[in-house]
Amino acid sequence: MCAATCVCVSQSPPLSSLSALYHSWVAPALGSDLLVQFWPNSAGVLPSNCSPPQHVLNVQEIGFPPGAGAPPPFSSHVDHSKWCVSEGEAAGAWTCVGDVNRDQGEERRGGGTVCIDNRLVWKSYRQLVQKYSKCED
């Protein structure tokens, strides 16, 4: 058995901008910077958002930890999944799985994400992030 805290964030247009789901709703609810994997092949993709208080950073490359039989890392451009993880564990080991891309076109459709604060799940997803857009200091 695994005890965990779960959060569900959903919205429907035109209440607010779904393209800002992660920055306006998820990151503040979790109190954490987020690394977001999404399908970046649509028009109007949002860049990483480095505005305080939380940053929302776009994943660029995914891969399994190096080891016997591990495939090479691959670009987020070939992965249609939509998920995010907290950048670190300080505010919780958050992992979210949803159905919203980070692009302007998502404003016309509903959607959301379900998040869990569980270190084992977080570690599994976090280690997949090989490269992401970082904020300039």
Q: What is the pLDDT of residues 84-111, one digit of tens each?
A: 999 998 889 999 999 988 888 776 777 8
Q: pLDDT tens digits for 17-62? A: 555 788 888 999 999 999 999 999 988 898 999 999 999 999 999 9
Token pair of 123 as six digits: 């570690």
* 48 vs 37: CA distance, rounded Å: 11
* pLDDT greater than 60 at residue 1: no
Domain assignments of the chain as residue spans, ordered by start: 20-133
According to the model, what pLDDT value does residue 42 have? 86
Whether 32 and 87 have beta carbons less than 8 Å apart is answered as yes
Q: Model's pTM, two decimal places?
A: 0.88
Whether 62 and 71 have beta carbons less than 8 Å apart is answered as no
Q: Give residue 25's identity as a one-letter amino acid code.
A: W
Q: Which residues form the catalytic set?
A: 80
